[in-house]
Chains A and B, each alone.
Chain A
Amino acid sequence: ILNVEQSPQSLHVQEGDSTNFTCSFPSSNFYALHWYRWETAKSPKALFVMTLNGDEKKKGRISATLNTKEGYSYLYIKGSQPEDSATYLCAFSDARSGATNKLIFGTGTLLAVQP
């Protein structure tokens, strides 16, 4: 059974704080790691797709790193703003599955940014 775990489950920070959360996934037969941002009452929106060990991606104040050898990815938000409040999901795909677009999602980290 492939397991994707995210921590913490939820996080409350003040506006301006920087924060980070973790996604753990199986370290063997890695294909890709996705990060999605999911605002309440909306649909998940892709932030990053990472495929290479050591990948670092950045979009504005949000960045992510990938370590496929040890099976983890970090998502960082610099200077959190209230509009960053959302659930952040990571999803893993396995090269063995025969369907590399079959994403196994974690349960997400719920971020709440207080003004």
Chain B
Amino acid sequence: DTAVSQTPKYLVTQMGNDKSIKCEQNLGHDTMYWYKQDSKKFLKIMFSYNNKELIINETVPNRFSPKSPDKAHLNLHINSLELGDSAVYFCASSQDTAGEQFFGPGTRLTVL
């Protein structure tokens, strides 16, 4: 009964490829997020969706496109992968805009 799940857990790919990471939450939350953990282990918000609507869109290259088919899913598609995209990507969800966020297990992306 995993609360926030991400697939895949590991992703190794070549530069220039297009890849997707999927996220699902079964908590009934309205809001979902994507974070990037950089090489210094710093967690930085990328996107947030509330009820399938984009509400946070940080300064992220437009090669990154989130898609929320429904409240329980927020997928991250990345075009033309670059070496600098290598990182751990975390999905999270929260009930409302002030509540605690529940994080998924992370997806480690390695671009070769």
Task: Identify the A interface with B (CB < 8 A).
Answer: 31-32, 34, 42-46, 49, 51, 87, 89, 93, 99-105, 107-108
Q: Is the CB of B100 within 8 A of A46?
A: yes
Q: Is the CB of B48 within 8 A of A99?
A: yes
CB pairs A–B below 8 angstroms (22 shown): A31-B98, A34-B100, A34-B101, A42-B105, A44-B43, A45-B103, A46-B102, A51-B98, A87-B41, A89-B43, A99-B55, A100-B97, A101-B33, A101-B48, A101-B55, A101-B56, A101-B96, A101-B97, A103-B45, A104-B45, A105-B42, A108-B41
Task: Identify the B interface with A (CB < 8 A).
Answer: 4, 31, 33, 40-45, 48, 55-56, 90, 94, 96-106
Q: Is the CB of B98 within 8 A of A49?
A: yes
A42 to B104, CA, bound (A): 9
Q: A99 contacts which of B42, B97, B103 (Cβ < 8 Å)?
A: B97
Most chain B beta-carbon neighbours within 10 Å: one of A31, A101, A105, A107: A101
Q: CB-CB < 8 A to A87: which residues of B?
A: 41
Chain A: minimal CB distance from B102 (Å) = 7
Known: A42-B105, A43-B4, A101-B31. 13 other contacts (CB 8 A): A34-B100, A43-B106, A45-B103, A46-B100, A99-B55, A101-B56, A101-B99, A101-B101, A102-B45, A102-B56, A103-B45, A107-B40, A108-B41
Q: CB-CB < 8 A to B33: which residues of A?
A: 101
User: Closest residue to A45 on the B side, CB-wise?
Assistant: B103
Q: Is the CB of A105 within 8 A of B98?
A: no
Chain B: minimal CB distance from A60 (Å) = 17
A104 to B42, CA, bound (A): 10
A100 to B97, CA, bound (A): 6
A102 to B54, CA, bound (A): 12
User: Closest residue to A103 on the B side, CB-wise?
Assistant: B45
